[in-house]
Each structure stands twice: as structure tokens, then as C-alpha cells.
Amino acid sequence: MLKKISGFVFIALAIILSFSFVQRFNEFTRSILGVLQIARDNPETYKAGYTIGVMTYWLIHIGLTTVFWIFGLRRIKRQK
């Protein structure tokens, strides 16, 4: 029973993170373009560090969302 409850909590967290990703998708695309701009140009140090930090945030955000979905769905599966 505790496994199912933790599975539902993981899925709830995944849904919240998924909604926040959809809401902030424009910022995500801008961060991808910023990383491409760093590769193409030679920006100042502050802007390069900020862009890499934002992209790191998005990678962690997407990774956590995926992990929560996977573990949540595994936990609520019926055991035979």
C-alpha cells in the first residue's frame, strides 16, 4: 500500500513539473538558442556563465520529471 501511495506522490510531482515545463517552454527554447550563440560567438563571461547555468537548470528539470514519471508508474503497477 505504501508503494502505491509513493507512486501517486511521484506522479503528482511529475505532473507539476510537466506543467511548469509547458508553461515556461519559451524560456527553454531561448536557453537552447543561447547555448548555440555561445558556440557561435565569443560572448562575455557573465553572459556565458548565466546561459550555461540556465541550461543546466533545464537539464535537471527535465531529468527529474522523467525520473518521477518512471518511478511513479513503476510503483503503481500491479504486482502479479
pLDDT digits over 1-12, tens only?
A: 888 899 999 999
Distance CA 42, CA 77 (A): 50
Distance CA 41, CA 23 (A): 29
- Note the pLDDT of residue 43: 75
User: Higher model confidence: residue 36 or residue 43?
Assistant: 36
pTM over the 0.85 mark: no
User: Higher model confidence: residue 2 or residue 19?
Assistant: 19
- Note the pLDDT of residue 79: 66
- Whether 78 shows a pLDDT value over 80: the answer reads no
Query: Quick one: DSSP state of residue 24?
Result: T
